[in-house]
Amino acid sequence: MTEQDFSPFTLESPTGAALAARHMPATGAARAVVQINHGLAEHAARYRSFAGFLAERGCHVYAHDHRGHGATRAPGSIPGAFARSGGADKVIADVAAVHAHIREAHPSLPVITFGHSMGGLIALNFAEAHPRASAGLAVWNSNFNAGAAGRAGQALLAVEAFFKGSDTRSAILPKLTFQAWARAMPDRRTDFDWLSRDPAEVDAYIADPLCGWDATVSMWRDVFDLIYRGGSREQLEKLPKDLPVHLLGGGEDPATDKGKAIEWLADRMKRTELGNIESHVLPDTRHETLNEINRDAAMDLFANWLDRHITAQS
């Protein structure tokens, strides 16, 4: 594994955000760029090992802290919130700003858009908003099948917003998500065992002051916006029919209903005639695949997918 720095830099977005971004250059001749979108209540620096893995395979890697996360700062955004209004659109516009920076720096290389969990919601919505931007799309551990329970969650958030305002931390949604997922783990050692079977990775997450916080009412509302918008047939039909798509989830991930949400998304994409989908649900695997005990196998699956599709475009 490369020991290169995942070098930080600041990128100004047209939304007014100062994005805390990171870049790891490819080792040797570059063949592609992977743009990573992190999940809820975490940050881009946690993807350093994955970036090193990809760099050794000829990929430049870029990632940034989404607004409301990590070191990114944006007008109208407080920690735990995308924005006071229009947060979902602004976070996608920030992704587009990073993508534009990548295109300027590496004009001849294909760009793969990758997202984990909430980052997968963002990645798919970005790909739908900019259908020709990505040479490939990877959505890992994301749930676009919120259904009636999600609609009930939106109603509860509306009540919270009415009585407490949108900039306050939601008291209800953590109970329905992080806390419920914690209770689903047998013989759990911590409240974050649902993330991984690797205790060292769970402990590192808990010790990280930039991880594990409760999101605001407005951020949860924006997350639901990304879920229902991105998973809609109307939006999925905007994707190029030949776009290579890599879907992956865990068979013991409570956030994706033990991988059923990944299977649901694969089926929904196929129904919109997307014809280049590869989907995996890894047995016994929890939510953070890249920090799981079988992370090497998962990364190899992604690398093999990259090899096939990047070679085909060369």
Spans of the chain, pLDDT less than 50 = 1-3, 312, 314
Give residue-wise pLDDT tens across range 96-143.
999 999 999 999 999 999 999 999 999 999 999 999 999 999 999 999
pLDDT at res. 78: 87
All structural domains of the chain, each given as residue ranges with its CATH number in brackets, are: 7-313 (3.40.50.1820)
289-309 pLDDT, tens digit each: 999 999 999 999 999 999 999
Q: Are 82 and 109 in contact (CB under 8 A)?
A: no
Listed residue (62, 63, 58) closest to 27, CA to CA: 58
Task: Give the type of residue at 224.
Answer: F
- Write out the E strands in 53-192: 59-64, 111-116, 136-140
User: Can you say whether the dihedral through the CA atoms of 137, 251, 228, 192 is positive or negative?
Assistant: negative
The DSSP letter of residue 108 is T
